[in-house]
Amino acid sequence: MIERNKVSVRIYGQEFIISGDTPRDQIIKIADYVDRKMHELNQAMPAGPVSAIAVLAAVNAAEDYFKTVRIVHELQAKNQQLEKDTQHYVQLWDEAKSSFRQYKDDAQVAIEHREETQRLLNEKTNEYNELQKQFREISERAEILQKKNESLFNRMEAQEDEKESSSSMIKEMEARCRELEASFFDLQMENIQLKGDLDRLKKIVEQDERENL
């Protein structure tokens, strides 16, 4: 069984015993509140009876109660709205954290991509420098070959001049070669003819020898 508190209080000059489940200090605060209200009303209407002052004090206390209830409801509504806003801001915060993590991931990917791009750029730069070096070497060789080519061209021109001067001699030698070839052919034909005559003479001699036997 819950023990009820009994508190002796003084309201508007009279002693009262108030009992209840309310804590002692709370009962004392309520009694002081009623006492203060009745003294405030007594100042407004000094000649009023105690019962009227008590009723008016009760009305004022009820008005304060309902005003307090209304304020509590308003505060509860504001608290609910604040809780909704808080949830909304928490959601926004979670989304912002998620976006920030995504941004960090994207930034890390971008950094890795930039590093890879820089590495490829360095490789291409090295290749370009190597190609430039090779190009310079080739250019130097080409210049040397160009000089050699010019020298050979000059020598070829000189040889062409010599060739033109000896062209008549070559033609003359070719004509003599053709003459020698014709003479050789005639000699071959004559040799064939002589060989045929010789073969016929041998046959005649052999026939005469057989007849004489």
Is 18 a member of any domain?
yes
Q: Is the backbone of residue 153 left (phi > 0), alpha (psi -120 to 50) or beta? A: alpha
Is 71 a member of any domain?
no
Q: CA–CA separation, 124 vs 128, rounded Å?
A: 6
Is 26 a member of any domain?
yes
Residue with tokens 């090295």: 126
Per-residue pLDDT reduced to its tens digit, 24-56: 999 899 889 999 988 988 888 777 788 888 888
Give the whole-number percent of the chain exceeding pLDDT 70. 93
Range of the domain at 32: 1-48
pTM > 0.85: yes or no: no
Cα distances (angstroms) measured from residue 84 to each of 73, 176, 178: 16, 124, 122
Is 22 a member of any domain?
yes
Is 156 a member of any domain?
no
Q: Is the backbone of residue 12 left (phi > 0), alpha (psi -120 to 50) or beta? A: left
Mean pLDDT to the nearest integer, 144-160: 77
Is 57 a member of any domain?
no
Q: Of 12, 11, 42, 14, give the one whose Cα is nearest residue 27.
A: 11
Is 136 a member of any domain?
no
Of residues 168 and 92, more confidently modeled: 92
